[in-house]
Structure 1
Amino acid sequence: MGYHHLALAAKDMKAVHDFYEGVMGFELVKVEIAPVMGGGWGKHFFYRMDGDDSKWNAAGLDVLEIDHNWCHSVYTRDPNGNMVEFCLTTGSFDDADRARAIAALDETEMHASPAPAMMKHWLAKDAV
């Protein structure tokens, strides 16, 4: 299963574009421009997400990679300092997963999930 698209709001779309296309390696493929509720208008940019995360370290970004046992995630920070996660589902969900998630809604004490199968912090300084 591949990613479909990334949607976000930004004050400086040019900086965000430079980050997502130039650093992340995603290709800008389409824009939808339309009125928005409450007045005004907006632009919805679509990026194809087949990038290679090895470019991220070379651009000075630290990357955290985690195999959560049911999905594989990579995390980094965008130009606004927001932590962003890109996640690919590698397993499936069943009724027990849903029951566990619903039970967690009311829990007031930590009941930790199983440890990740893999966790690696890729530091930008190691990319030189």
Structure 2
Amino acid sequence: MGVHHFAIATKNFEMAHHFYTQVMHFPLVAGVKRQAPGGGWTKHMFYDIGDGETMALWDLRGIEGVQLDPDSWRSPISTGLGLPRWINHFAFNCKGGEEELQQRKRNWLDNGYHVSMTDHEFIRSIYTFDPDGNLIEWTYDTRPINEEDTRYAHEILLDDSPATEGDYEGPFVRSTVEKYKPAPKPLPEPVK
């Protein structure tokens, strides 16, 4: 069973749209514009992430000033909740393995996004942050998950002693390119 879609709110919809269409190469495939429960209106825009699955971006400008204060809400899924920025994240599959991962890395760097890389036990990943500060990952399986992996998962599930193995380490590459930054748009007048 796959994921139909996940949806995230954006602080700057135009920057997020550019990131997901031009940097991640997820085409816009559908959208809904409706009045919002509680007042105002929203756009719910859907992007193809592959294999018939989508993600959606919320453009909430129509409810800012009606249901929420535009200066007080935070869009990152981790830091907006008071967590470190690396906790909650979105991981996308590189079905083309290492070759595709390197292409995705180059694309992020060419668009002004810094990249870190990590080799996990059974996957290899690169990471960057989207314009809203959400951690985004491209990853691929380096080997199939096996019975030993499952046994170890069950073992550590029951083990509440502190970890003794250090955090993952991997290279970090800074981009030298400036990111896309659109001119700010004024907020629409609230619908009364």
Q: Scaled by the length of structure 2, what TM-score is found? A: 0.48
Q: In the alignment, is residue 109 of structure 1 matched against residue 162 of structure 2?
A: yes
| Contact 2:28 2:48 (C-alpha < 8 Å) held by counterparts | yes
In structure 2, the residue matched to 1:124 is: 175
How big is the shift at 1:63?
0.1
How big is the shift at 1:61?
1.4
How big is the shift at 1:73?
0.4
How big is the shift at 1:32?
6.5
Query: CA 1:83 to 1:69, structure 2 compared with 1: closer, same or farther past 3 Å?
Result: same
Q: What amino acid does structure 2 have at the position aligned with 1:101?
A: A
Query: CA 1:114 to 1:45, structure 2 compared with 1: closer, same or farther past 3 Å?
Result: closer
Q: How many residues align?
A: 119
Question: In structure 2, how many angstroms separate the alpha carbons of the residues matched to 1:97 and 1:84?
Answer: 25
- Consecutive unaligned residues in structure 2, runs of 5 or more: 51-91, 93-99, 179-192
Q: In the alignment, is residue 68 of structure 1 matched against residue 70 of structure 2?
A: no
- Consecutive unaligned residues in structure 1, runs of 5 or more: none
Q: What amino acid does structure 2 have at the position aligned with 1:55?
A: N
| Contact 2:28 2:46 (C-alpha < 8 Å) held by counterparts | no
In structure 1, the residue matched to 2:47 is: 45
SS at match of 1:20: helix
How big is the shift at 1:28?
0.4
| Contact 2:28 2:45 (C-alpha < 8 Å) held by counterparts | no
Question: In structure 2, how many angstroms separate the alpha carbons of the residues matched to 1:105 and 1:18?
Answer: 40
Structure whose alpha-carbon radius of gyration is higher: 2
- After the TM superposition, which parts of structure 1 deviate over 4 Å for at least 4 consecutive aligned residues? 40-43, 48-51, 113-116
Q: Scaled by the length of structure 1, what TM-score is found? A: 0.67
Query: CA 1:71 to 1:21, structure 2 compared with 1: closer, same or farther past 3 Å?
Result: same
